[in-house]
């Protein structure tokens, strides 16, 4: 349980690249694991407004499913993409 750890040390590089493709305004440098999961939840429909609280597991799961679809597409389009 290390939410403040650097995402680059705990999250696969392909996931970070895919997140950047899906959400171009996201800055990967200095991103923490906590921030990565919030961005993943935003891919699943989480709005992240001031009073929204933390994303739930279903929203994170929806974001993860979209991430997997993007990863699969990238592997088909560019087999050397890693």
- The per-residue pLDDT for range 6-43, each reduced to its tens digit, is 999 999 999 999 999 999 999 999 999 999 999 999 99
In this structure, how many other beta carbons lie within 10 angstroms of the beta carbon of residue 33? 18
Please, are residues 26 and 15 in contact by the beta-carbon 8 Å criterion? no
* pLDDT at 50 exceeding the cut of 90: yes
d(CA 13, CA 6) in angstroms, rounded, equals 12
pTM of the model: 0.89
d(CA 5, CA 21) in angstroms, rounded, equals 22
Q: How far is CA 58 from CA 17, 28, 29, in A?
A: 23, 24, 27
Residue with tokens 């993943």: 40
């Amino acid at each position: 349980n290390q939410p403040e750890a650097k995402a680059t040390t705990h999250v696969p590089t392909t996931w970070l690249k895919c997140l950047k493709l899906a959400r171009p305004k996201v800055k990967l440098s200095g991103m923490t694991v906590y921030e990565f999961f919030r961005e993943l939840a935003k891919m699943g429909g989480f709005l992240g407004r001031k009073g929204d609280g933390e994303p739930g597991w279903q929203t994170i799961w929806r974001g993860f499913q979209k991430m997997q679809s993007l990863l699969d597409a990238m592997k088909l389009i560019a087999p050397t993409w890693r």
